[in-house]
Amino acid sequence: MLVNQKTLRNSISCTGVGLHGGYLINMSLKPAAVDTGILFRRTDVAADIADIPARHNTVSDLVMCTTIENEAGVKIATIEHLMAALSGCGIDNVIVELDGPEVPVMDGSSAPFVFLIECADVVEQEAPRRYIRILKDVTVSDGKASATLSPGDNISVSFEIDFDNTRIGRQNCSFSMRNGTFKKELCRARTFGFLGEFEKLKSLGLAKGGSLENAIVLSGEDILNEEGLRYEDEFVRHKALDAVGDLYLAGAPIIGQFYGLRSGHALNNRLLHALLADDEAWCYTTEAPVRVSNVGGAHWPSQKAAAPATA
C-alpha cells in the first residue's frame, strides 16, 4: 500500500519562550513542496545562511536538547518536541521559520505543536511517502544505557527508564505509532527535571526559560507542579516522545522497532549514525507499514535511493 507525502494546507504561527535562552521566539510552520523534508529557517540572519535541514548529520550539540547547525554556524536548539509532533502527525514536508536560535518550549510537551498542525490542516501531496525499513538489529550503548533498532512490520517505540529517585523509579512503555497513537498516548508528556538541576543550569546560563509552566519539576520525591502528572508514567512517556523526535532526524519514518534503555538524545543520534552508515542494515521503501498475521512476517519491496534534497 502506498501512502502519499503530506504537508500543511495553511501556514500557522505561535510565540513562546525558549527553554534555555529564556527569550520570546516567534515561530511559523509553512507548507513545503514534495521532498523538501523538515527544513528549519532562521529569519533573523541573512537569507543565504538561514536554512538548516533537520537531519541526523546536521546535529551539532546534544547536551540537554537536540541542536542542529548548518555549515555557516547558524544553529537552532530544542527541536525534539516539534520533530516528534511532525513525525506523530505524519508531516513529511514543512518549513519551520524562527526569529531566534531555539524552538519555543511551550508547555514542555508536543501537544501545542500537534494543535498547531491540526489547526493548519494536513494535505496530501502527489508523491509517495518514502520509509526506511530496518533489515537487521543495530545497537549502540554507553554504560548501562543502550538503544536498538530491530526489524519489524510497523513503526514502534519502546522505552525503559530506571531512576534512583523512587518517585520515578523503573518505568517502561511500548507504543505502535498507528491510528493517532502519538496524539492519544504520548504528545502530552512533558519534559522533567530536578529542582537542584534547574538551579545549577540557570547558574550556568542555561534553562533561563524553565519553569513549572513548561516542565515537571521534582524536589526530592515531591512533584512541585500543582496539577500533578498528566499520566501516571509521564516520565517514561516523555522519553519515548523524545525518541520519536530524535528518530525523525533519519529523514524518513522508520519501519522497525526502537527500544531505548536509559537512552537520551546523544545515544539516539549515535544509533541513527550507526544505522545509516551500514548499508546492510536498512533500505528505502515506498510500501507503507501494515500489520500482518502470517508467521513469516511482511514482504517488503525495497530500494536504495538517493538521499532527499535536504540531505
The dihedrals phi and psi of 265, each to the nearest 5 degrees, come to: -55, -45
What is the mean pLDDT of the segment spanning 18-41?
95
Alpha helix positions (H), 9-110: 80-88
The alpha carbons of the chain give a radius of gyration, in whole angstroms, of: 19
CA distance 173 to 217: 21
265 classed as catalytic: yes
The dihedrals phi and psi of 201, each to the nearest 5 degrees, come to: -60, -40
Helix (H) or strand (E) holding 284, with range, is strand 282-285
Evaluate the CA torsion angle 249, 250, 255, 258 in order and state its sign: negative
Length of the chain: 311
pLDDT tens string 49-99: 999 999 999 999 998 889 999 999 999 999 999 999 999 999 999 999 999
pLDDT tens string 102-143: 999 999 999 999 999 999 999 999 999 999 999 999 999 999
Read off the C-alpha cell for 304.
536504495
CA distance 173 to 192: 17
Q: What is the DSSP string of 167-216?
A: TT-EEEEEEE--TTHIIIIITTPPPEEEHHHHHHHHHTT--TT--TTSSE
What is the mean pLDDT of the segment spanning 296-308?
32
pLDDT at 250 over 90: yes
Read off the C-alpha cell for 173.
512503555
The residue annotated as part of the active site, out of 56, 81, 238, 265, is 265
Structural domains present in the chain: 4-128 (3.30.230.20), 131-285 (3.30.1700.10)
Contact at 8 Å (CB) between 234 and 189?
A: yes
Mean of the per-residue pLDDT values of the chain = 91
pLDDT tens string 164-220: 999 999 999 999 998 899 999 999 999 999 988 877 777 767 677 888 999 999 999
Contact at 8 Å (CB) between 53 and 311?
A: yes
Read off the C-alpha cell for 213.
509552566
DSSP classification of residue 272: H
pLDDT at 310 over 60: no
Which residues does 204 contact at the CB level (< 8 Å), separation at least 6?
A: none
Ramachandran category for residue 220: left, alpha or beta (phi over 0 → left; psi -120 to 50 → alpha): left
Contact at 8 Å (CB) between 275 and 157?
A: no
- Of 33 and 307, the one with more pLDDT: 33
Give the largest Cα separation in the chain, rounded: 57
92 vs 123, 159, 201, 249, CA distance in Å?
11, 25, 34, 11
